Amino acid sequence: MRQLRPSTIREILKVTAQPEIISFAGGLPAPELFPVEAVRAAADEVLAQSGREALQYGPSEGFPALREWIAEEMQHRGVAVSAAEVLVTNGSQQVLDLAAKLFLNAGDVVLTENPTYLAAIQAFQTFEARFVPVPTDNKGLIPETLPELIRRHHPKFLYTIPNFQNPTGVTLAAERRSLLARIAAEHALTIIEDDPYGKLRYRGPDIPPVKHWDEAGRVLYASTFSKTVAPGLRLGWVTAPKEEFSRLLILKQASDLHTSSFDQRVAFTYLTRNDQPAHLERIRRAYGERFAMMDATLGAEMPAAYEWTHPEGGMFLWVTGPAELDGLALLERAIERQVAFVPGRDFFPAEGGSNYLRLNFSNSSPERIREGVRRLATLCRELP
Ligand SMILES: Cc1ncc(COP(=O)(O)O)c(C=O)c1O
C-alpha cells in the first residue's frame, strides 16, 4: 500500500463537479446522451417479466443472453468468439484488477504504452508491478521493439489501448496490430487489449481489434458498455483463452460472486429493444463536433509552442507544452479561472511527463469547450 498514490484525477473531480467550472478533466461521457427513458422502459420490463430472476443471485460468468449478445457483437467486429468465452464484469476496470491478480507477483514486469491509462497503472501497482514502457509514435506502440524488451524483461503481459488511447487519443495502426499478434505468438507474450472506445470513431475506417489476428490465443480482450450506454451500469466484459478464462472466473467469484443480475438484464433488454446503431451514431456525431471545436479553438488561441493530437474517435486529446511547463502548477491557476484538465504526469508509470495535459471533450457542449479552451489558452500565453 505504501507505493500507491491517490489518483489526482479523482481528487480534481471533487473540485470540478462545481457547475461553474468548465471541466476537461474527467473521462465522463455526455450525460445528455444517456438513454434514460429507454433504460427506464427496459428496467420496467425486466421487473414486470422476470423480476424474481433479476433480483436473484446469478451465474458468475454473466447473464447468458447478454453473453450471447456480446459474442455476436464481437463477431461483427471480426473477432471469432462464442458466448462461452465471454465473462461479464463490473466494468472493464474489473478486468484489469482480475488480470493483475491472475498474472502478477511482486516485481513482475508489465509492458505498457507510456503514457497509459491511470487506473490501469493503479490496478497493476496494487500487485507491485514494474512498468517498462514500449516506444510509441503517432501510430501507437512500435511492435518491432518488443522482441528485445521481452528478452530483457520477461514481461508477464503487455497492456495496450489500441483505439483512441487514454490519455493520448492515438490509434494503433492496422499493420501494427497484425504484427503485434504475430510477435505475441512467436514470443509467448500475453496481451491485455483494453478497448473501451473502439465504437466511438467519428472519422476514418474502423480497424479490427488485435484479437482479430490472435490465432495463437495470446490476447485477453476487454471492453465495456460504459461509453456506449452508461458507465453507471458498471458493465464490461473480457474474452480470454480457455485456461485464462477459467482462472479469471475463479478470481471473479472470490471477488464479487457475479455482476449485478438486474443490471445485466436491463442492459440486455435495452440493447435488444432499441436501435443501438442509431444511438451510437448520435454519440459519434456529438463527440466529433466537440473534438472539432476543441481542435479549432486550440488552433486559434494556443501559443505556438503547444501541440496536440488529432484523434479519430474517443473522448480525449493530449497537449504537449514546452519542456519547462509544469502541468500541475498550470492546473492550480486554471481552476482559479474556472477551467480544469488533467496534468499529464500521472499517466506516466515512470518518471517525466510534467509538460503534458489531457483534455476531455466529450463532457462539455461546443460552446463551453470554446470558452474553456480560450481561458486555458489565455493562461498559457501569460506564462513566463
Ligand atoms: C482505457 C480505459 N480502460 C478501462 C476503463 C474503465 O472503464 P469501465 O470500468 O467503466 O468499463 C476506462 C475508463 O475511463 C478507460 O479509459
Residue whose Cα lies nearest atom 14 of ligand 1: it is: 27
Q: Indicate the pLDDT class of residue 315, thresholds 50, 70 and 90.
A: very high
Q: Is the pLDDT of residue 82 over 70?
A: yes
Q: Is the pLDDT of residue 10 over 70?
A: no
Name the residue of 164, 194, 259 whose CB sits within 8 Å of the most ligand 1 atoms, as the mutation to test its pocket.
194
- Mean pLDDT for 54-64 is 98
The DSSP letter of residue 52 is H
Q: Is the pLDDT of residue 155 over 70?
A: yes
Q: Is the pLDDT of residue 348 over 70?
A: yes
CA distances from 314 to 27, 104, 157, 363 (A): 10, 29, 24, 12
Residue whose Cα lies nearest atom 6 of ligand 1: it is: 93
Q: What angle do CA 339, 341, 344 make, to 5 degrees?
A: 150
- Mean pLDDT for 230-236 is 98
Q: Is the pLDDT of residue 110 over 80?
A: yes
Element (H, E) at 316: strand 316-320
How much of the chain exceeds pLDDT 90, in percent?
91
Q: Indicate the pLDDT class of residue 272, thresholds 50, 70 and 90.
A: very high
Name the residue of 34, 113, 117 whose CB sits within 8 Å of the most ligand 1 atoms, as the mutation to test its pocket.
117
Give the pLDDT score at 28.
93
- Predicted model pTM: 0.96
Give the pLDDT score at 352.
80
Q: Is the pLDDT of residue 311 over 90?
A: yes
Quote the crossing angle between the two packed helices 36-54 and 261-273, to the nearest 10°. 130
Cα 152 to the chain's mean position, in Å? 28
- Mean pLDDT for 268-287 is 97
Between residues 19 and 371, the one the model is more confident about: 371
Residue with cell 501559443: 303
Question: What distance in angstroms lies between residue 122's CA and the mean position of ligand 1's atoms?
Answer: 12
Q: List, in order, residues 6 or more apart from 337 with CB less than 8 Å away.
A: 375, 376, 378, 379
Q: Is the pLDDT of residue 175 over 90?
A: yes
Give the pLDDT score at 9.
62
Q: List, in order, residues 6 or more apart from 135 with CB less than 8 Å away.
A: 141, 142, 145
CA distances from 119 to 147, 167, 170 (A): 27, 11, 18
Give the pLDDT score at 201.
97
pLDDT, the chain, mean: 95
Between residues 2 and 182, the one the model is more confident about: 182
Q: Indicate the pLDDT class of residue 350, thresholds 50, 70 and 90.
A: confident
Cα 258 to the chain's mean position, in Å? 22
**pLDDT tens for residues 83-96?**
999 999 999 999 99
**Bridge partners of residue 201, in order along the sequence:** 313
Measured from CB, residues less than 6 Å from any atom of ligand 1 are 27, 91-93, 117, 161, 166, 194, 196, 224, 226, 231, 236
What are the phi and psi torsion angles at 316 (to 5°)? -135, 150
In angstroms, the CA 141 to CA 165 distance is 11
Q: Indicate the pLDDT class of residue 8, thresholds 50, 70 and 90.
A: low
Q: List, in order, residues 6 or more apart from 282 with CB less than 8 Å away.
A: 33
Task: With beta carbons less than 8 A apart as the criterion, state whether 339 and 231 touch.
Answer: no
Give the pLDDT score at 326.
94
Q: What angle do CA 226, 229, 231 make, to 5 degrees?
A: 30
CA distances from 287 to 166, 197, 236 (A): 15, 12, 21
**Bridge partners of residue 89, in order along the sequence:** 236
Question: What distance in angstroms lies between residue 29's CA and the mean position of ligand 1's atoms?
Answer: 11
DSSP output for 145-190 = GHHHHHHHH--SEEEE--SS-TTT-----HHHHHHHHHHHHHHT--
For residue 207, the SS3 value is coil
Q: Indicate the pLDDT class of residue 383, thresholds 50, 70 and 90.
A: confident
CB atoms inside a 10 Å sphere around CB 250: 13
Give alpha helix (H) positions in the chain: 8-16, 36-54, 64-76, 91-103, 118-125, 146-153, 174-187, 242-256, 261-273, 276-301, 327-336, 366-382
In angstroms, the CA 291 to CA 65 distance is 35
CA distances from 306 to 297, 368, 383 (A): 13, 21, 12
Name the residue of 7, 9, 90, 92 whose CB sits within 8 Å of the most ligand 1 atoms, as the mutation to test its pocket.
92
In angstroms, the CA 140 to CA 172 distance is 4
Task: With beta carbons less than 8 A apart as the criterion, state whether 1 and 106 touch.
Answer: no
**pLDDT tens for residues 16-33?**
778 889 999 988 999 999
Dihedral angle computed from the Cα positions of residues 30, 79, 89 and 201, in that order, rounded to the nearest 10 degrees: -10
